[in-house]
A = this chain, B = another copy of it.
Amino acid sequence: MNHPNNLGLELHTLVSRLERAGDRILRADHGMSYRRFMVLVMVGELKACTQRALADSLAVTEPSISRMIAALAGTGLLTVTPDPAGGNRRRIALTDAGRELVERAGTELIGRLTELVESSGVPFDTYLAHTRRLNAALGGG
């Protein structure tokens, strides 16, 4: 139950539990998986959102995003259009329904997590800052 000095294992189990919990909430309330929801959130945050940019931002590969977008394209939550700037690119954007879902479910999830963190006694801002810094050190922009 306790991994003596193994931060990697500890982070794995933490994220695993967090995402399982988030997945259950999203499936029950919005009929959507946690992974797909993360894609929607990121589409809402990126300025010029291409599949390549999504893959970088979520730290997954292009094929993964390619399939996710294909699966999400039929839901009416986002639109896929050739990039007006040219090139072999797709421009991804949220529809009104997508924006509304991200807004509602996103604030709920973030709220629950923030609450959990603070009730555990871990200082939210410090932990978030540390996590961000580690992410940056690992090549994340």
Binary interface profile of A, 17-61, with partner B (CB < 8 Å = 1, else 0)? Answer: 111111000000000000000100110010000000000111110
Q: Range of interface residues on chain A?
A: 35 or more
User: Would you give the 0/1 interface string for A97-115, flagging 1 where the beta carbon is closer than 8 Å to chain B?
Assistant: 0000000001001100110
Q: Indicate whether A66 reaches chain B with its CB closer than 8 angstroms.
A: no
List B contacts of A88 (CB < 8 A): none
Pick from B11, B121, B128, B140: contact of A7, CB below 8 A: B128
Say whether B15 contacts A12, CB under 8 Å: yes
Task: Name A residues whose Cβ lies closer than 8 Å to a Cβ of B.
Answer: 1-22, 38, 41-42, 45, 56-60, 106, 109-110, 113-114, 116-117, 119-124, 126-128, 130-141
